[in-house]
C-alpha cells in the first residue's frame, strides 16, 4: 500500500472512531501496517503521535458539544470522549483550551481549534537518497533489552543509551574485559546497533542496545534476538549524531516511502548502525536499516 494513502486511512479511521476506545494497535490493524512504523511515520509526517492526535481532536469536539448544548452534564461529555471522571476531563480540557469546561460558554473565543488533518505530501528527492537494498541471511543480535512506549520513545531511548554507555560500554575503553558481561560486550561489539522490534503490542516495542552475536555465553541481563532471511534497505547517514540520523529518518518517511513503486515495509523492525569513532564528527558514518519487501 502507498505510504501516503496509509496515513490518510489512519486519519479516516481515527475520525470515525473518536468516541470509541481505540488504541494505536487498533489503528495499525485497520491500515495493515506495523504499529511501530505507523507511530513513527505519523509522528514524523504530522508532528503528533497517534494518541496526541486523538486527544486533541476529542478535546476540540468536546468544546463544540458544550457550546452547542448537546450535552447537559460535564460527566456525560467526559464519558463520551473517553475520560473516566469529570476531574480528569476538566484538567485535560483546561490544559488544552486554557479555561475550564464550565466557563467555555462565557468565553467561546478561548476554544482552541483542532481540525482533522489533511495529508498532502510533496514527494521530492526520494530517488537521490544514499541507500542500497541488500539480501541478508538470518542473523542474531545480543544486547540489553528494554520495553519502550511509542509515546515517549524519542525522549526515553537517548536516556537509555546514556545510561548503558556510561555504566557498561565506556569503562571498557580503558581496561580489558574481566567479567562474562564485559567479555560479551567486547566480543560482540555491543553498541554497534540500536534495534527496534515491534512484537509486543499495547503501544510498546522492544529496544535493544546490541551487537552482532558471534557465539559464546549469554550473560545475565542480556538477551538474544534472531532475524530471518530478508531484504534490508540500508540508508547511509553522514554527520554528527543525533542530527544526521534524525534527518535521514525523516527523509525515509517523507520522501522515500510515499509513492515508492518498488518497496514497502516488510515487518515491524528497524536497525540503526553506528560505526566506531567520534559520533560528533562532521564525517561520522551511521546508517538506518529498514526491512523491505519488493512489491
| pLDDT above 50 (res 130) | yes
| pLDDT above 90 (res 126) | no
DSSP secondary structure string, 223-257? EEEEEPSEEEEEEEEESSTTHHHHHHHHHIIIIIS
Q: What percent of the chain lies above the pLDDT cut of 70?
A: 95
Q: Where are the domains of the chain?
A: 3-110, 126-294
User: Could you tell me the fold of the domain covering 3-110?
Assistant: Arc Repressor Mutant, subunit A (1.10.10)
Q: Where is pLDDT greater, at 277 or 91?
A: 91
pTM of the model: 0.84
- Minimum mean pLDDT among 5-19, 64-78, 119-133: which range? 119-133
Half-sphere exposure (Cβ direction) of 171: Cα atoms closer than 13 Å:
12
pLDDT tens per residue across span 162-206: 999 999 999 999 999 999 999 999 999 999 999 999 999 888 999
pLDDT tens per residue across span 216-241: 999 999 999 999 999 999 999 999 98
pLDDT tens per residue across span 28-41: 999 999 889 999 88
User: Could you tell me the fold of the domain covering 126-294?
Assistant: Multidrug-efflux Transporter 1 Regulator Bmrr; Chain A (3.20.80)
Estimate the share of the chain in helix, then strand, then coil, as percent rounded to the nearest 5.
Answer: 40, 25, 35
Which pLDDT value is given to residue 154? Answer: 83
Amino acid at each position: 500500500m502507498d505510504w501516503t494513502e496509509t496515513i490518510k486511512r489512519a486519519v479516516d479511521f481515527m475520525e470515525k472512531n473518536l468516541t470509541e476506545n481505540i488504541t494505536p494497535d487498533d489503528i495499525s490493524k485497520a491500515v495493515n501496517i506495523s504499529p511501530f512504523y505507523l507511530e513513527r511515520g505519523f509522528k514524523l509526517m504530522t508532528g503528533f503521535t497517534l494518541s496526541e492526535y486523538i486527544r486533541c481532536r476529542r478535546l476540540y469536539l468536546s468544546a463544540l458539544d458544550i457550546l452547542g448544548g448537546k450535552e447537559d452534564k460535564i460527566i456525560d461529555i467526559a464519558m463520551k470522549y473517553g475520560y473516566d471522571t469529570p476531574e480528569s476531563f476538566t484538567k485535560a480540557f483546561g490544559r488544552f483550551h486554557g479555561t475550564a469546561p464550565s466557563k467555555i460558554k462565557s468565553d467561546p473565543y478561548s476554544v482552541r481549534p483542532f481540525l482533522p488533518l489533511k495529508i498532502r505530501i510533496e514527494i521530492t528527492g526520494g530517488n537521490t537518497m544514499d541507500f542500497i537494498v541488500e539480501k541478508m541471511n538470518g542473523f542474531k543480535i545480543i544486547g540489553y533489552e528494554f520495553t519502550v512506549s511509542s509515546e515517549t520513545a524519542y525522549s526515553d531511548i537517548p536516556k537509555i543509551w546514556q545510561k548503558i554507555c556510561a555504566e557498561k560500554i565506556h569503562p571498557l575503553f580503558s581496561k580489558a574485559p574481566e567479567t562474562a558481561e564485559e567479555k560479551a560486550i567486547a566480543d560482540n561489539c555491543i553498541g554497534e546497533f540500536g534495534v527496534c522490534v515491534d512484537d509486543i503490542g499495547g503501544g510498546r516495542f522492544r529496544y535493544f542496545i546490541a551487537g552482532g552475536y558471534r557465539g559464546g555465553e549469554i550473560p545475565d541481563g542480556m538477551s538474544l534476538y534472531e532475524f530471518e532471511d530478508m531484504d534490508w534497505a540500508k540508508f547511509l547517514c553522514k554527520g554528527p549524531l543525533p542530527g544526521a540520523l534524525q534527518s535521514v529518518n525523516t527523509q525515509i518517511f517523507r520522501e522515500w516511502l510515499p509513492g515508492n513503486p518498488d518497496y514497502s515495509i516488510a515487518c515491524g523492525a528497524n536497525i540503526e548502525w553506528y560505526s566506531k569513532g567520534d559520533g560528533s564528527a562532521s564525517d561520522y558514518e551511521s546508517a538506518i536499516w529498514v526491512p523491505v519487501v519488493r512489491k
